[in-house]
Amino acid sequence: MSASYPVLWLRSLAFWIVFPLSIVIYACLLLVTFPLSLRARWALLQSWVHFILWWLRVTCNLTHEVHGRENIPDGAGIVFAKHQSTWETIALQLIFPQQVWVAKRELMWIPFFGWGLALMKCIAIKRGSGRAAVRQLVTQGKQRLQEGLWIVIFPEGTRVPPGQAGQYRIGGAILAEQSGYPILPVAHNAGEYWPRRSFIKKPGVIQVRIGKPISSAGKSAQEIHSDAAGWIEQQMSKITTLQ
């Protein structure tokens, strides 16, 4: 029997009371650890991710299951992930090894959250800068990959409602082509349970699908881009329940 709306509202309220407060606390802790290594800051961030996913389960009865973990290679790679929710920006940090994100530069200006994000060596792209943004992504992306860091990209650029597909941008595929590192496509239906711009969190099990690495060897950026986007949307048609 599904929970009534008042119950869902109260559960979501409990989650939201703690969630922003935890961001402030952990961001302050990250600022204190500024002199330490990136690995040390990553370990601290992992404790926050574990806590939030636990709190989400306790308050909202929302969990997830991952299929395809065996497809994650030992070396670094580029994650191409569907973007529907805030959930994946948290959970992917637990699913994949130490990583940096490609994010909009404006996010760096958000108090506490942005400050913590900046300390994690993210690739901050200026919105609307076109080719300059791609050049920055390739230059900094190569550096991060050579350091053994994964790169997480949301190629649609913004959150897309369940049942819809955004326009996949080619920057990540260009990085794969020029760096030689593989892309791992990721599909999930988090938007059905943690919808964008929604207060309510719905109980259930988020489905996450990780595809086999898409090699960049001998392929153009357009071919890589097409393979990754095609796999993601094919999987979305299988796991999306809200059509």
* pLDDT higher than threshold 80 for residue 88: yes
Q: Please tell me the distance from the alpha carbon of residue 115 to that of residue 31, in angstroms, as a whole number.
A: 8
* pLDDT higher than threshold 90 for residue 232: yes
Q: What average pLDDT does this structure show over 9-27?
A: 95
- What would the pLDDT profile of 130-183 be if each residue is shown by its tens digit? 788 899 999 999 999 999 999 999 999 889 999 999 999 999 999 999 999 999
Helix (H), strand (E) counts: the chain: 7, 7
Q: Residue 224: which pLDDT band, with cuts at 50, 70 and 90?
A: very high
Position with higher pLDDT, 21 vs 103: 21
Q: What are the structural domains, with CATH classification, of the chain?
A: 5-239 (3.40.1130)
pTM, entire model: 0.92
Quote the pLDDT of residue 1: 43
Quote the pLDDT of residue 186: 98
Position with higher pLDDT, 120 vs 177: 177
Quote the pLDDT of residue 32: 86
61 Ramachandran zone, left/alpha/beta (phi>0; psi -120 to 50) = left
Q: Residue 74: which pLDDT band, with cuts at 50, 70 and 90?
A: very high
Quote the pLDDT of residue 115: 79
Q: Are 178 and 151 in contact (CB under 8 A)?
A: no
* pLDDT higher than threshold 70 for residue 235: yes
* pLDDT higher than threshold 90 for residue 33: no
* pLDDT higher than threshold 80 for residue 127: no
The answer for residues whose C-beta is within 8 angstroms of residue 46's C-beta and 6 or more apart is 93, 94
Query: Which of 89, 129, 112 is closest to 25 using CA atoms?
Result: 112
SS3 208: strand
Q: Are 182 and 139 in contact (CB under 8 A)?
A: no
Mean pLDDT, rounded, of the chain:
92
